[in-house]
A and B are shown apart, each in its own frame.
Chain A
């Protein structure tokens, strides 16, 4: 039996992240990145937001959203570097940078969400 690479698993993470980020990030980015800063809508009170974030389900969803989106980005960015800049020969560095970043980001995200409560 031939060896198995982890490429398929990375691809699964990429895909899941693609769905998660497409479903949830636009709304969040629209609200917090554009609508509140520009004053189109008034931001929710701290108390309300805290309550929402403290809900275990929200924390779970946010964790997966952060982690998967990071892996999504890492994977896609890796291939953009390969193909766009034609630096496939540097793949070890690129991999370390991309997925390493995603792992660090995910751990940070988990820590953040954990320590609020």
Chain B
């Protein structure tokens, strides 16, 4: 029967295994099935012990990122039929430690995300009674793209520097910092600059550009980083040439 496709799924049990191994399953693949549907079929019908994360099945919660035939993908937005006749290989996201089967440890990502202070920083809070901060659609567009990040970590999985250099903050976190820096309501770019510019934050990025290629939300973290480098460098240059104007 050729209405089934072979899924080679990475398995790893920390209790016993020293290495990842691959297990093969045959699953149906109707036109509308995504890779995640295949995994759910395995879990529900063939092997209840397979572990992976998922939730929304509509490409917005960011939890189902895995490596599909070598590429980082959201498995709920990647169709099985596109890999016919198979086999299709499912592995955990690269550059992250594997906890179990297809589940990776996201702790490093979360810590780095937090480190760039991704929240609106104001020198003085505007009282609620004064209403909203005005922001024209054009001003919104300045940062809108960078606010679309769903924290799926595909970019980090695709970036070799993220894998090589444990200090590198990574594309998603920098894009998020840039999202706030470019928001007219925010006044914290100086603070974030200190975090990012003064250590490996951004300088480790060698503009491989893969991060932007795999991003499912078109956030373009590579662009965010280069723009940020330019701002940070100009800022440094200013304080280098005019030290008396430093903050």
Interface membership of B158, Cβ < 8 A: no
In the bound complex, what is the Cα–Cα distance between A20 and B198 (angstroms)? 27
Interface string of B229-247 (1 = CB under 8 A from A): 1101111110110000011
Pick from B164, B240, B246: contact of A83, CB under 8 Å: B164
The answer on a CB contact under 8 Å between A11 and B198 is no
Known A1-B247, A8-B232, A12-B233; judge A82-B165 contact (CB<8 A). yes
**Contact between chains at B165 and A8 (CB < 8 Å):** no
- Provide the main secondary structure of the chain B interface: helix
> Which residues in B have their C-beta under 8 angstroms from that of A8?
197, 203, 229, 232-233, 235-237
Q: Which of A11, A76, A83, A86 is close to B233, meaning CB atoms less than 8 Å apart?
A: A11
Shortest Cβ distance from A88 into B: residue: B165
Question: What size tier do the contact residues of chain B reach?
Answer: 20 to 34
Do the beta carbons of A11 and B240 come within 8 Å of each other?
Answer: no
Residues of A within 8 A of B36 (CB): none
In the bound complex, CA of A86 to CA of B160 (Å): 11
Contacts of B164 in A (CB 8 A): 82-83, 86, 88
Q: Which of B191-247 contact A (CB under 8 A)?
A: 194, 197-199, 203, 206, 229-230, 232-237, 239-240, 246-247
Complex Cα distance, B232 from A76, in Å, reads 19
Nearest CB in chain A: distance from B134 CB, A: 32
- On whether the beta carbons of A79 and B239 are closer than 8 Å, the reply is no
Q: Give the interface of B toward A (CB within 8 A).
A: 160-161, 164-165, 194, 197-199, 203, 206, 229-230, 232-237, 239-240, 246-247
25 contacts between A and B (CB under 8 A): A1-B247, A3-B198, A4-B198, A4-B236, A4-B239, A4-B240, A5-B197, A8-B197, A8-B203, A8-B229, A8-B235, A8-B237, A9-B237, A9-B240, A11-B203, A11-B229, A12-B233, A12-B236, A15-B233, A79-B206, A82-B164, A83-B164, A83-B165, A88-B164, A88-B165
